[in-house]
Structure 1
Amino acid sequence: MLAAVGHPLRLRIVAELAGGRVHVSELARRLGISRPLLYMHLERMEKAGLVAGDLELSPDGKAMKLYALLPFDIHLTAGTILDVLQSDEQGGPTA
């Protein structure tokens, strides 16, 4: 989870989603990035349990992917940082 929020763009995604669910195309426009790049970051955040995406049908029948911020609480300590660094050095999972 620490790695998932340790990127400036992901922090901007959190800020945008703090106001409620957003369609992925609208989120990409707000952030000024491509949808493929956004999906890459959202996938990392979803694996860490920070966001959730849901498919919905628009009134004209098109599938729309909407993302929402999930509740989370990160407690950052020196021990947490050491654990993450040790896991990275050992090739462990980085969520």
Structure 2
Amino acid sequence: MGHSHRLRIIAALSNGRVHVSELARNLGLSRPLLYMHLDRLEKAGLVRGRLELSPDGKAMKYFELVDFGLHLTPETVIAALDADERETKDE
């Protein structure tokens, strides 16, 4: 949550679902970087991605917010930092 790109993604999705290419353009992020942050937000249960078929049969990925509440404790912050450090080492 604490990363500025993730906060910007949540803000951008607050008005409804958005196609990933449009989201990348609106935020000025590359699609690979955007997908990395969306993956982390999805694993945290804050956003949901869904594939849909366009009228011409092309698969399109849309993301939307999931209703969530956030309750932070020192333990939650420490756990999030530990998880982020583990993911960074795995990349």
Q: TM-score, normalised by structure 1?
A: 0.81
Count of residues in Structure 1 that have an aligned counterpart in Structure 2: 85
Equivalent in 37, 43, 58 of residue 54 of structure 2: 58
The residue that corresponds to 2:74 in the other structure is: 81
* 1:40-90 Cα shifts (integer Å, max 9, x gaps): 0000000000000000000111000000000110122xxx124532x468x
Residue segments in structure 1 that go unaligned for 5+ positions in a row: none
Is it true that 1:72 corresponds to 2:68 in the alignment?
A: yes
Which residue does 1:48 correspond to in 2?
44
SS in 1 for 2:48: strand
Distance 2:69 2:21 in 1: 27
Equivalent positions of 1:10-21 (< 5 A) are 10-21=6-17
* CA RMSD after TM alignment: 2.0
**Off by >3 Å, runs of 4+ in structure 1:** none
In percent, how many aligned pairs have the same letter? 64
Task: Supply the distance in 2 between the matched residues of 1:84 and 1:73 (Cα, whole angstroms).
Answer: 15
TM-score, normalised to structure 2, is 0.84
Q: Which has the higher contact order (CA 8 A, sep 6+)?
A: 1
Q: Secondary structure of the equivalent of 2:55?
A: coil
| Alpha-carbon shift at residue 22 of structure 1 (Å) | 0.2
Q: Structure 2 vs 1, CA of residues 73 and 43 (structure 1 numbering), >3 Å: closer, same or farther? A: same
Structure 2: gaps spanning 5 or more residues: none
